[in-house]
Amino acid sequence: MNHDRRTDSDAVLSLLRDALGGQAVVTDSDILDVHRYDTAKFCEAGTPLALVRPSDTAQVQEVLRIAGRHGVPVVTQGARTGLSGAANAVDGCILLSTSRMNRVLEVSADDQVAVVQPGVVNSELSRLVAEAGLFYPPDPSSWEESTIGGNVATNAGGLCCVKYGVTADFVRGLEVVLGTGEVLRTGRRSTKGVAGYDLTKLLVGSEGTLGVITEITLALRPEPETSLTVAATFDDGRKALQAAARIMAAGLQPSLMEFLDGTTARAIQDYRDMGLPAAVDGILLVQSDRGDRAPQDVATMGQICADCGAVDVAEASDAEESRMLLEARRLVNSAMEALGTTLVDDVAVPLSRLPDLLTGIGEISRDLGVTIACPGHVGDGNMHPTVIFDREDAEAERRAVQAFDRVMDLGLRLGGTITGEHGVGLLKTRHLEQELGPVSMRLHRGLRQVFDPLGVLNPGKLFTPEPDETPPVAPEDGAVRSAP
Ligand SMILES: Cc1cc2nc3c(=O)[nH]c(=O)nc-3n(C[C@H](O)[C@H](O)[C@H](O)COP(=O)(O)OP(=O)(O)OC[C@H]3O[C@@H](n4cnc5c(N)ncnc54)[C@H](O)[C@@H]3O)c2cc1C
Residue 180 beta carbon below 6 angstroms from any ligand 1 atom = no
Kindly give the number of the ligand 1 atom that is closest to the alpha carbon of 83: 15
Kindly give the number of the ligand 1 atom that is closest to the alpha carbon of 156: 11
H or E segment and range at residue 395:
helix 394-413
Looking at ligand 1, which residue's alpha carbon is closest to its atom 9? 140
Kindly give the number of the ligand 1 atom that is closest to the alpha carbon of 334: 1
Residue 264 beta carbon below 6 angstroms from any ligand 1 atom = no
- Kindly report whether the global pTM for this prediction surpasses the value 0.85: yes
Looking at ligand 1, which residue's alpha carbon is closest to its atom 19? 82
Residue 39 beta carbon below 6 angstroms from any ligand 1 atom = yes
State the pLDDT at residue 483. Answer: 34
State the pLDDT at residue 7. Answer: 52
Per-residue DSSP letter, 291? G
H or E segment and range at residue 268:
helix 262-271
Q: How far is the CA of 120 from the centre of ligand 1 (A)?
A: 12
3-state secondary structure of 264: helix
Looking at ligand 1, which residue's alpha carbon is closest to its atom 28? 80
The vertex-478 CA angle with 472 and 480, nearest 5°, equals 30
Do 92 and 74 form a contact (C-beta atoms < 8 A)? no
State the pLDDT at residue 2. Answer: 45
Beta carbons within 8 Å of 296's beta carbon, 6+ residues apart: none
Looking at ligand 1, which residue's alpha carbon is closest to its atom 18? 82
State the pLDDT at residue 315. Answer: 87
Strands 256-261 and 282-288: antiparallel
Residue 79 beta carbon below 6 angstroms from any ligand 1 atom = yes
Q: Report the amino acid identity of residue 364.
A: I
Q: How far is the CA of 75 from the centre of ligand 1 (A)?
A: 13
Residue 110: C-alpha distances to residues 127, 184, 189 (Å): 18, 26, 12
Beta carbons within 8 Å of 215's beta carbon, 6+ residues apart: 57, 105, 115, 116, 117, 118, 174, 175
Q: Which residues are paired to 213 by β-bridges? A: 176
State the pLDDT at residue 472. Answer: 61
Q: How far is the CA of 150 from the centre of ligand 1 (A)?
A: 4
Distance of alpha carbon 119 from alpha carbon 121, whole angstroms: 6
What residues in the chain have per-residue pLDDT under 50? 1-6, 478-484
- Give the Cβ contact number of residue 214 at 10 Å: 24
- Reference 290, options 164, 169, 191; nearest CA is 164
